[in-house]
Amino acid sequence: MTPPAVPDEILGLRRSIDNIDAALVHLLAERFKMTERVGHLKAVGGLPPADPARDRQQIDRLTAMATEAGLDPEFAEGFRAFIVAEVIRHHERIAAEYAAGHLEGDVPALDTFA
């Protein structure tokens, strides 16, 4: 038995979803460029990789935005936590490279939309 054909509306929605996914990937890449620079600036400035006060502000801000946008705030917080954990891991790596003398001097330039 042949499965039913996928309706045109579903195909159109899938194309839109694919476009949104591509935009999200590019936005995340740009975000990680910014957070990498923050990691270098923190390491050079002697700041810790994590900033609990900033994290609390971000949780509150993003939870409110998610609620306003009709997105489950728990999902939004989980997504944010996943991203921030990766950022902190990068910051810890960068700090360790400076501490070990593998990196020194000026902070690399920010390369956005490369």
| pTM for the full predicted model | 0.81
Is the confidence at residue 29, as pLDDT, over 60?
Answer: yes
Domains delineated in the chain = 35-99 (1.20.59.10)
User: How far out from the chain centre does Cα 27 lie?
Assistant: 8
pLDDT (tens digit per residue) in 47-73: 999 999 999 999 999 999 999 999 999
CA distances from 19 to 7, 25, 97, 100 (A): 19, 10, 37, 42
Residues 49/55, Cβ–Cβ less than 8 Å = no
Of 40, 32, 48, 43, nearest to 87 (Cα)?
32
Of 88, 82, 110, 3, nearest to 42 (Cα)?
88
- Enumerate the H helices of the chain as residue ranges: 8-45, 52-69, 73-99
Residue owning tokens 């990680």: 32
pLDDT (tens digit per residue) in 5-15: 999 999 999 99
- What integer pLDDT is reported at residue 53 of this predicted model? 95
